[in-house]
């Protein structure tokens, strides 16, 4: 969403060209989004420390309604569940991967959170990736990692034709 192999940008984007979204009596809104690079706040993640990049990531985010009041944010093929708030939206999700390591297992967990504030057709917000890498069992010569990275973004609602497929 290359996404967390080195914890690059977490921006609310998806591919606009060829974007397909099935809509079953639900609403959706499409935004053109510009996101900053991820900034490591805490920890020791290998995210290219020392590199300087002042460019921004641009793309498209889709927010759509689901069942029972659940709202979804779709970007980079990663979909987070959330809810509408008084000022916009809050989305969360996590990924967990396990790898064998001697007599133990390495757990690589990333918790995502995205806060979006809406102001008419404009959105602003913050995306956070909180990563922990731990050993479960006995992992000789293993060093746990923890880090938290944050990016900010701004976007504008756009009119987009979304192809519906059955």
pLDDT exceeds cutoff 60 at 104: yes
Least confident of 20-29, 48-57, 94-103, 118-127: 20-29
Q: What is the pLDDT of residues 25-83, one digit of tens each?
A: 448 899 989 888 777 776 666 555 555 566 778 888 999 998 888 999 997 778 999 99
List the beta strands (DSSP E) in the chain: 28-35, 39-43, 57-65, 71-75, 78-84, 88-101, 104-119, 122-136, 145-158
> What is the rounded CA–CA span in Å between residue 137 and residue 159?
52
């Amino acid at each position: 969403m290359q996404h967390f192999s080195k914890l690059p940008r977490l921006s609310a984007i998806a591919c606009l060209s060829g974007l397909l979204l099935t809509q079953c009596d639900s609403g959706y809104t499409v935004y053109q989004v510009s996101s900053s690079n991820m900034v490591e706040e805490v920890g020791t993640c290998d995210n290219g420390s020392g590199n300087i990049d002042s460019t921004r990531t641009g793309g498209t985010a889709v927010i759509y309604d689901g069942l029972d009041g659940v709202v979804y944010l779709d970007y980079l093929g990663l979909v987070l569940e959330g809810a509408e708030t008084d000022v916009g939206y809050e989305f969360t999700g996590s990924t967990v991967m396990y790898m064998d390591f001697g007599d133990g297992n390495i757990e690589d967990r990333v918790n995502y959170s995205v806060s979006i504030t809406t102001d008419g057709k404009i959105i602003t917000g913050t995306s956070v990736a909180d990563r922990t890498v731990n050993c479960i069992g006995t992992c000789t010569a293993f060093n746990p990692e923890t880090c938290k990275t944050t990016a900010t973004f701004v976007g504008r609602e756009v009119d987009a034709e979304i192809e519906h497929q059955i």
